[in-house]
Amino acid sequence: MSLDIGHGERIGLVGENGSGKTTLCKHMNGLLSPTEGSILVDGADISKARTPEIAPKVGYLFQNPDHQIFCSSVLDEVSFGLRNIGLSKEEVSLRAAKYMDQLGIGPLSNEPPLALSLGERRLVSVASALAMEQELMILDEPVAWLDARQARLVAKAIGEAGRSGRTVIIITHNMKLVAELTDRMIVMSQGRVVFDGKTRELVSDPAAMSRACLASPPVAQLARRLSQVLEMKRPVASNEDLIGELMAARQGGGGAGVR
């Protein structure tokens, strides 16, 4: 495998179970070391770096929140990493509060995380990961076990992280999330990259999605049906894309017209 990821990219890493997505990403933060070849972050070989050198640069959200949580309170959990990278007490307090409030878990700050529901534990783990504000953020199934409201909060927080210039890699089977939050999609199968290109182009191509064993998000399926009566000038992957195309059709008077 040979793969380059640029600073500030927003990437969806997808593929069937066992394709190698999580294994690949665990090489990016030093949890695993390659038996041959190398993983470089900012030009430095991760396999030769020490944990204190990696932690401030590369963040990782585990697929299972219980593999990440170990502190006695939600506040301690979100603050743990921040204290260990040398932030002042004031900085730790402000940043922890920011992300807990953003994800709606501020009122739970004194609760023991392992006494919370699985969805709430997922929110705690996401807040802990995002609060570190590393340059590279790897998120493994960030909206798993969340209800619709909680998933929207997490998606909004991830979107803000991406727009701030951080590099975000989302490992997921949720095509709606990928379509909304990423610009580039990497599809893996049996340990190899089988597609690497623009998210919009892949999710709007049903044949390519089928070959990758993926299902197009509902908005892309709707856009394909609408394209039979409207002239769509670009592929549609998200609600924003569809609204833009409908507005363009209305203003341009093309297709069947939109009211």
**Residue pLDDT, tens place only, 80-125:** 999 998 899 999 999 999 999 999 999 999 999 999 999 999 999 9
Give the span between the Cα atoms of 88 and 128, in whole angstroms.
17
Q: What is the pLDDT of residue 254?
A: 47
Neighbours of 73 (CB within 10 A): 15
The bridge status of strand 136-140 relative to strand 184-189 is unpaired
Q: Taking the CA atoms of the chain, what radius of gyration do you get in angstroms?
A: 20
103 within a domain of the structure (yes/no): yes
Domain CATH for 190: 3.40.50.300
Given this model, what pLDDT does residue 108 score?
A: 98
DSSP structural state of residue 114: G
Q: Is residue 148 part of a domain?
A: yes
Do the domain assignments include residue 124?
A: yes
Pairing of strands 136-140, 58-61: parallel
What are the Cα distances from residue 107, in Å, to 69, 101, 103? 18, 8, 11
Total tally of structural domains belonging to the chain: 1
In a domain, 130, yes or no: yes
State both tokens at 237. 């992957």
Q: Is 228 inside a domain boundary?
A: no
How far is residue 76's CA from residue 98's CA, in Å, rounded to a whole number?
A: 14
Joined together, the tokens standing for residue 30 give 């030093």
**Structural domain span for residue 161:** 10-216
Residue 226 is assigned to a structural domain of this protein: no
Is residue 232 included in any domain, yes or no? no
Q: What is the largest CA-CA distance in the chain?
A: 61
In this prediction, residue 80 carries a pLDDT of 96
pTM given for the model: 0.85
241 part of a folded domain: no
Q: What's the pLDDT tens digit per position in 186-240? A: 999 999 999 999 998 888 787 878 877 788 777 777 777 777 666 666 777 777 7
